[in-house]
């Protein structure tokens, strides 16, 4: 564990967020995805701080050491963007660079689109900018069927209980089960099976994930007991609502410098029709600095390829400076 990382809590936008922080200088906010936490950025803290940046990674609302509102409606994308904007103000108010992975990417892209006055650059890992959020549930049903994981997550309590029954095992399965291996494919649960049936226990951990890493993730998730994963799952339960809330901003361009990084074997690639990615990047990020494609890399971008991701981020940050 990096002993230079400092931990604190801050009250913003009606929630209590846990912050992990290192370094001094211009603010860089690192926004994790599902099912992760501040710890997913463990490899980025030191190098970014040494390069002269103040690096802050919150546990986003509902996750790990942060508070978990009970109301599902409290997890809309506008709540999440509100957390980021309030956090920027709480940390001094100077424009920040946002870096988001997985669900953290739509939050970063959305904040940059709606509040460019608070964002001097934005980087998305795995998930590209989308016109009005991560699609609709009806489109997901039509494209991938009723067993698509985002549909499976909609039933309150079902995935929650499965994942929380053994927090460490569930994290190990998800982090290892969505690994590279052939062509990327969407995560689909066959009829009559459970979520964990699709991601059996791995025989061994990949080189980028250690038992100590799993212990760190699991300890923070276990703080919420039977609701260990409920906060993160509630983000998915707002997908259709997010599209309604973001409808007025459909097509709004992200008018700040941008970076996009993704693994070539990321399952997200199987969810974006051919040609659509280039169109989205061209239309929505006119100030795109680079599109970095990482070979032999799956979904856990900054954990699987820390040197390459950190290098791309440093190159992007230098271009802003």
Is the pLDDT at 49 greater than 70? The verdict is: yes
Tell me which architecture the domain covering 6-320 has in CATH. 3-Layer(aba) Sandwich (3.40)
Q: What is the mean pLDDT of residues 45-58?
A: 98
Q: Which of 18, 32, 79, 299 is catalytic?
A: 299
b/e for 193-210, b at 16 or more Cβ within 10 A?
eebbebbeeeeeeeebbe
Q: What is the mean pLDDT of residues 8-17?
A: 97
Lowest mean pLDDT among 79-83, 111-115, 132-136, 163-167: 132-136
Per domain, the residue ranges of the chain are: 6-320
Active site (annotated) includes residue 299 = yes
Chain mean pLDDT for the chain: 95
Q: Which of 102, 160, 220, 266 is catalytic?
A: 102
Is the pLDDT at 1 greater than 70? The verdict is: no
Active site (annotated) includes residue 32 = no
Q: How far is CA 53 from its chain centroid?
A: 21
Q: What angle do CA 11, 212, 52 make, to 5 degrees?
A: 55
Q: What is the mean pLDDT of residues 7-23?
A: 97
Is the pLDDT at 164 greater than 60? The verdict is: yes
What pLDDT digit, counting tens, does each position of 173-194 carry? 999 987 656 678 899 999 999 9
Q: Tell which residue, 111, 117, 146, 149, has the closest CA to residue 129.
A: 111
Q: What is the pTM of this model?
A: 0.97
Q: How confident is the model at residue 42 (pLDDT cuts 50, 70, 90)?
A: very high
Is the pLDDT at 157 greater than 80? The verdict is: yes
């Amino acid at each position: 564990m990096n002993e230079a990382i400092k931990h604190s809590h801050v009250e913003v936008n009606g929630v209590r967020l846990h912050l992990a922080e290192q370094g001094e200088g211009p603010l860089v906010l690192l926004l994790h995805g599902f099912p992760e936490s501040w710890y997913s950025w463990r490899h980025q803290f030191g190098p970014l701080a040494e390069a002269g940046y103040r690096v802050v990674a919150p546990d986003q609302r509902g996750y790990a050491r942060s508070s978990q509102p009970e109301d599902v409606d409290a997890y809309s994308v506008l709540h999440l963007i509100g957390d980021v904007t309030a956090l920027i103000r709480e940390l001094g108010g100077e424009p920040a660079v946002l870096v988001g992975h997985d669900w953290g990417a739509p939050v970063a892209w959305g904040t940059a689109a709606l509040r460019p006055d608070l964002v001097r650059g934005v980087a998305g890992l795995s998930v590209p900018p989308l016109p009005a959020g991560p699609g609709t549930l009806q489109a997901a049903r039509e494209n991938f069927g009723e067993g698509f994981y985002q549909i499976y997550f909609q039933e309150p309590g079902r995935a929650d209980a499965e994942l929380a029954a053994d927090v460490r095992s569930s994290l190990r399965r998800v982090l290892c089960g969505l690994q590279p291996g052939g062509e990327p494919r969407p995560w689909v649960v066959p009829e009559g099976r459970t979520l964990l049936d699709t991601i059996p226990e791995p025989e061994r951990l990949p080189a980028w994930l250690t038992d100590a890493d799993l212990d760190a993730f699991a300890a923070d998730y276990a703080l919420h007991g039977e609701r260990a994963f409920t906060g993160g799952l509630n983000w998915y339960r707002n997908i259709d609502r997010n599209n309604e809330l973001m409808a007025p901003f459909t097509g709004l361009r992200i008018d700040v410098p941008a970076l996009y990084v993704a693994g070539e074997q990321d399952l997200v690639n199987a969810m974006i029709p051919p040609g659509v990615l280039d169109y989205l990047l061209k239309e929505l990020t006119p100030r795109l600095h680079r599109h970095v494609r990482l070979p032999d890399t799956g979904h856990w971008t900054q954990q699987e390829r820390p040197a390459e991701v950190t290098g791309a981020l440093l190159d992007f940050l230098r271009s802003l400076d």
